[in-house]
Amino acid sequence: MTNANILDLLDQKCADIPAFVDRLIKRPKEIAELVKALKVEKRAVKFRYEKVLRLVSEQRPKLIYPYFDVFVNLLDSDNSFLKWGAISTIGNVSAVDDGKKFETIFKKYYSPISGPTMVTAANIIGSSSKIALAKPELTERITREILKVEKAKFEMHGKPSPECRNVVIGQAIDSFDEFFEQIDDKKAVIAFVKRQLKNTRKQVAKKAERFILKHAKEK
């Protein structure tokens, strides 16, 4: 990759995203430039900026952690893709959150689990296992938040969608599976999963069955 400005290079439609991730890891000083552009850019190229930063956060969370507040602000973005990316990035950098910044936004981060947007809730729950493993002291709080999904109200095309709730419940089972061993209130989780054995979405019922076979003996 050339020494050309990273913003100019990312502006190209054929931009090699993995190559830019490698470049930022090797040249972390460029991260600030990309974050600044993400905040002000109004064109579609900002989605590439977000994706590159998110992928860097997966591999080198310490490089992105200084910009934690930028991604917190994106949780309020009117653009769902930026919001979903921020949810994942915050989950990734929780592993290096020595300043306990996540604790200060805990309620804000988890409030969308109650609905109405399925993908937002699913992304939050999907990132929760990383957060719980990085911050075991938050395990019980995270568990209680995820369990709320059973009574969540999601919408599809402006109408209530029980099926969307089933999809997110499936994500909840997957997430619990990742950090079940460190959960104190295992009985509550097992009870939740057992109720999903009768879930009308077959994939979710199967996930519940596998979970119970794996973990019920640990309750």
**String of DSSP letters for 88-148:** HHHHHHGGG-TT-HHHHTHHHHHGGGGSS-HHHHHHHHHHHHHHHHH-GGGHHHHHHHHHG
Domain boundaries defined on the chain: 1-103, 105-219
Which pLDDT score, from 0 to 100, does residue 201 have? 96
Which pLDDT score, from 0 to 100, does residue 36 have? 93
Q: How far apart are CA 131 and CA 179, in angstroms?
A: 10
Low-confidence ranges of the chain (pLDDT < 50): 1, 219
Which pLDDT score, from 0 to 100, does residue 2 have? 53
How far are the Cα atoms of 1, 60, 80, 176 from residue 26, in angstroms, in the given order?
12, 11, 30, 35
Which pLDDT score, from 0 to 100, does residue 218 have? 52
Backbone φ and ψ of 60, nearest 5°? -135, 70
Residue whose structure tokens are 């190229």? 45
Identify whether the C-beta of residue 208 lies closer than 8 Å to the C-beta of residue 189: no
